[in-house]
Structure 1
Amino acid sequence: MNTRRTDTVAAPRRFPLREVGLFLALLVAVLGVYAVMGGAYSTRMLVEASCYAILALGLTIQWGYAGQFNAGVMGFVALGGFCAMFFSIPVNHDFWGSELPGELGLVFVYMIAATLVVIGATRLDRLGVPRKLRTVIAVVLGVVLYLVVINALRGVTDQIESRAGFIGGLGLPVGVGWIVGGALAGVVGFFIGRVCLGLRSDYLAIATLGIAEIIKAFLKNSDWLTRGTATVSPLPWPVPGPEAVGFTLARALYLSVTAVMIAVIFFLLTRAYNAPWGRMIRAIRDNEISAAAMGKDINKRRLEIFVLGCILMGIGGAALGSFNSMFDPQGYLPLNHTFLVLVMVILGGPGNNLGTIFGAVAVYIIWIMSEPLALFLMELAVSFGEGAFGWVAPTNMDSRALQARVFVIGLLITLVLRFAPKGLLPEKVKHHG
């Protein structure tokens, strides 16, 4: 009896020459910064770049995996920073040793009760109340109860600010604040997603940008909770601080923590990307109508990916806030905490986790080093002009060099969009035939 044997030869895997070349170039750039700026400065730069890498991974799964353009990264970063502060700084005994916690808790009970009353009013049509009348009743109750609750809250918060300064923290381990920061960002992202994910991509960007500003304004003006513009510092680290082991070693230990976090997140996201769940998310991104026709719950999956991205942004914001050792609501800026993350994802490649990490580190190095490099070039030009043409040196070269950051980043994103619109390490889409 003859048997037919079919041999299947696997296609040889391509050597990742592009990836290796880019990361070698990045390594050379990092070593160059170490040689020029020293170990302490360079290690701090890498720690901040690693925190931004976590933020960029959160954005790349929203934008790259699901096509959701989130322009409110700053808000989730601020929530993470707030949790890192609130859960880690020491307890304020002036607040907890008084009757103020009970009064504040009673106000929150009133707030929950008022919310339940308004929700109940929106369901009066089930009792036969006409819908227009139901809407009027719900709106009037909402306005009246809001004024009552906010007046009670203002009375308690004024007492907190005058007698205790602010409520203080909980004195818990730093990691608890990071975890809760991710959870809080995810919860806020869930409610935002329920409302905004039905919007078109451009309207989603506008909505998330506005919500981020609302979060920042709340944290900035809640002196009883965050000290507002007075800031809170110092924030503890999850590793021994500079006062114990020195700046360079302390920052190196912090870098090891964030590097482990990135490795775990990268592993989990890569597994999810290649799993059926990841293929479903990309199918929704590429052709929502076809995915819906195959029985996929579009809204549920889009909400899942949005919440997951917000969780990573909260964790990254918490890690960045703890490293800066200061919580300053006014320091959260759209340029630094939204636009810069967007540039990182664009440069690396939306949807490519490895490319996003590369883009985060590369863009942050360019962002940080553009100021001293611009200052060096300006001083060189001025010294040449003074000797050759008798120029008078300007007095504000430092501020002008700082502004060079924006110019360099703008030039960078223009070049990338022109010559590599899918990023330096674009998403690898597998075709099955």
Structure 2
Amino acid sequence: MIRRDAILFAGLGIMILALANWFSVPYTLQILVNAFAYALIALGLNVQWGYAGLFNFGVMGFLMVGGASATFISYPLNDAFWSSDGPMMLFKALLAAIAGGALIWGVTRIPKKGNLAKLRGFLLVIAWAVAYVVYRSQIDPAARLIEAEADFVGGLGLPAIFGWVFGGIMAGIIAYVIGKICLGLRTDYLAIATIGVSEIIRALIKNMDWLTRGTLTVSPVPWPTPLPADITASGVASPDMAILLARSGFLAIVMLLVGVIFFFLQRAYDGPWGRMMRAIRDNHIAAGSIGKDVTKRELEIFVLGAILMGVGGAILTSYVQLLDPSGYQPINHTFIVWVMIIVGGAGNNYGALFGGIFIYIVWTISEPASVILFSLISDMSEGAGIGAIPDIESRALQMRVFVLGLVITFALRYAPQGMIPERVRTEKE
């Protein structure tokens, strides 16, 4: 008996071949690069939601962190910044932040019982205020100087792969802080916290002009593989062939990365660790009663999922070679990832992989397909004397959300557990 997932992936392959025939091979490669990046992000959300039942509605924030981190690591050095007083002033601001953090940590060490217990809350508020004032006294003049003399900090000029790794690390650190605060409470607290943190991250990246250049954007962000211009310079005469080879190289490295991560996730899912996480998801009270540290394990898996999202966000930014904080929107970078999990199948890595690739392709081609459909209908209605359809381009763009809604509706109606649902092993297996 042929398994459902084999049939679905075969159909997805046919869909990709049809896409290459309809558009072009280079454009199809571009779609696939982004699709595999989103598949990695969907795997991260599947780890959090499918493995442990953790609501994360702030996916966009982790993608932005990954993109900004990749830009900082791989963008070329800004000589104007390094030759100014900016580095020393930022170092002083870092020392001020560390001192403020140490002060806050020291106040939190005050025992909750004893002579100072009644003053603990008041002292904590004072500590936060002092830390904030001290930090702002150093960072504000540093920011003004950098923007005036160097525009922004620039990057470190390291290979793009290091930027991807750093993006995952930074996303994991932020997830750790969120998890330490919110895990162990009801799941709706985590959902609200992730939404809030996502918007805070977006506001910071958009307004920290000295670090991210804000809405002025940063470009070009380097690739981990040769660019079309580099391939042309090496002797390839055809520009189309150079684009084809460059995108193929980028796709190959992304597919390799997704394949390796998928392999280890699947091994973990099938092993004792995966069974423990599913037990915590299904009944955390029972899991805790047999000695499992539920909060610690949930924090562990929340950080792991965020790391994958950070890497995926770094890949997306590297490929488009542009960090544009204004381009991040919840519908494009949070809602669509949840759709990938819902349609693909939560709790199943194959479902997350399929959903990530399939939904991104549907999301991308729905606009040009709608343009063709509306143009045909417009010609027919105009020929019938009814009149042409106005603003076809803008209407076609809006159809992406409509098509996505239809996909969700049919998926929930005919495959409520996803197209590749989680397989529950029995003792007979």
Q: 1:389 aligns with which of 360, 374, 385?
A: 385
Distance 1:235 1:423, change over 3 A: same
Match of 1:410 in 2: 405
Matched, 1:182 2:178: no
Matched, 1:141 2:108: no
Match of 1:31 in 2: 17
Matched, 1:296 2:304: no
SS of residue matched to 1:372:
helix
Find the aligned partners of 1:426 and 1:332 in 2 and give their Cα distance: 30
Which amino acid is the alignment partner of residue 297 of structure 2? R
Segments of structure 2 that go 5 or more residues without pairing to the other structure are 232-241
Find the aligned partners of 2:389 and 2:406 in 1 and give their Cα distance: 26
Range 241-250 or range 312-321, more displaced? 241-250
Match of 1:72 in 2: 58
Which amino acid is the alignment partner of residue 255 of structure 1? L
Which amino acid is the alignment partner of residue 68 of structure 1? L
Q: 1:325 aligns with which of 296, 321, 325?
A: 321
Find the aligned partners of 2:63 and 2:165 in 1 and give their Cα distance: 13
Find the aligned partners of 2:283 and 2:421 in 1 and give their Cα distance: 19
Find the aligned partners of 2:68 and 2:343 in 1 and give their Cα distance: 29
Match of 1:351 in 2: 347
Match of 1:7 in 2: none
> C-alpha offsets along residues 169-199 of structure 1, whole Å, 9 cap, x if unaligned?
0000111111111111111111111111123
Q: 1:242 aligns with which of 228, 232, 241?
A: 228
Per-residue deviation at 1:25? 1.4
Per-residue deviation at 1:135? 1.3
SS of residue matched to 1:428:
coil
Per-residue deviation at 1:20? 2.1
Per-residue deviation at 1:271? 0.6
Per-residue deviation at 1:338? 0.7
Find the aligned partners of 1:388 and 1:301 in 2 and give their Cα distance: 65
> C-alpha offsets along residues 187-217 of structure 1, whole Å, 9 cap, x if unaligned?
1111111111123222321211111111111
Note the 1:28-427 alignment, pairs <5 A. Answer: 28-125=14-111, 128-245=114-231, 246-394=242-390, 396-427=391-422
Find the aligned partners of 2:2 and 2:99 in 1 and give their Cα distance: 59
Find the aligned partners of 1:282 and 1:327 in 2 and give their Cα distance: 37
Find the aligned partners of 1:101 and 1:206 in 2 and give their Cα distance: 36
> C-alpha offsets along residues 229-275 of structure 1, whole Å, 9 cap, x if unaligned?
00000111111112133222211111101110111011100110111
Match of 1:429 in 2: 424
Find the aligned partners of 1:346 and 1:210 in 2 and give their Cα distance: 23
SS of residue matched to 1:281:
helix
Larger Rg: 1
Range 121-130 or range 168-177, more displaced? 121-130
Range 384-393 or range 55-64, more displaced? 384-393
Q: CA RMSD in A?
A: 1.4
SS of residue matched to 1:232:
coil
SS of residue matched to 1:317:
helix
Find the aligned partners of 2:17 and 2:79 in 1 and give their Cα distance: 47
Per-residue deviation at 1:165? 0.3
Per-residue deviation at 1:118? 2.2
Contact 2:112 2:120 survives alignment (8 Å): no
Which amino acid is the alignment partner of residue 401 of structure 2? V
Find the aligned partners of 1:21 and 1:287 in 2 and give their Cα distance: 33
Per-residue deviation at 1:393? 4.2
Find the aligned partners of 1:263 and 1:123 in 2 and give their Cα distance: 45
Find the aligned partners of 1:16 and 1:303 in 2 and give their Cα distance: 38
TM-score by length of 1: 0.94
SS of residue matched to 1:152:
helix
Identity %: 49
Range 145-154 or range 23-32, more displaced? 145-154
Which amino acid is the alignment partner of residue 113 of structure 1? A
SS of residue matched to 1:431:
coil
Find the aligned partners of 1:411 and 1:58 in 2 and give their Cα distance: 25
Segments of structure 1 that go 5 or more residues without pairing to the other structure are 1-14
SS of residue matched to 2:309:
helix
Match of 1:20 in 2: 6
Find the aligned partners of 2:45 and 2:377 in 1 and give their Cα distance: 40
TM-score by length of 2: 0.95
Which amino acid is the alignment partner of residue 203 of structure 1? Y
